[in-house]
Amino acid sequence: MTFINYASREINCKIVYYGPGLCGKTTNLQYIYDSTAPQAKGKLISLATETDRTLFFDFMPLELGTVRGFKTRFHLYTVPGQVYYDASRKLILKGVDGVVFVADSQDERMDANIESLNNLEENLQSQGYDLSTIPYVLQLNKRDLPNVTPVNELTQELVRKGEPVFEAVATNGTGVFDTLKAVAKQVLTELRKG
Partner 1 sequence: MADTPFIIQEHQFQRIKSILARLCVECAARAVFLVDRDGQPIAFHGEIGEMDTTSFASLAAGNVAATSSMAKLIGEDVFPAVVHEGERESIFISVIGRSLLVVVFDERSTLGLVKIRTKRASHEVAALLDEVSRDSEAISASNNSFFAEITDEDIDSLFS
Residues that bind partner 1 (CB under 8 A): 1-8, 12, 14, 42-43, 45, 47, 56-57, 59, 61, 64-65, 67-68, 72-73, 75, 77, 87-88, 91-92, 94-98, 129-130, 133-135, 181, 184-185, 187-192, 194
**CA gap 87, 69 in Å, rounded:** 38
Shortest spacing between CB 86 and partner 1, in angstroms: 11
Looking at residue 36, the DSSP 8-state letter turns out to be: S
Instruction: Choose among 134, 137, 125, 178: nearest CA to 2.
Output: 134
Shortest spacing between CB 7 and partner 1, in angstroms: 4
Q: Compute the CA torsion angle 61, 64, 70, 76 (nearest 10 deg).
A: -30
Nearer to partner 1, 133 or 156 (CB): 133
Nearer to partner 1, 97 or 167 (CB): 97
Nearer to partner 1, 20 or 98 (CB): 98
Q: In what helix (H) or strand (E) does residue 115 lie, and over which residues does it extend?
A: helix 110-126
Q: Between the CA of residue 155 and those of 28, 59, 151, what are the distances in Å?
A: 20, 28, 6
Shortest spacing between CB 184 and partner 1, in angstroms: 7
CA dihedral (120, 157, 166, 25) positive or negative = positive
Shortest spacing between CB 127 and partner 1, in angstroms: 10
Nearer to partner 1, 18 or 59 (CB): 59
Nearer to partner 1, 1 or 146 (CB): 1
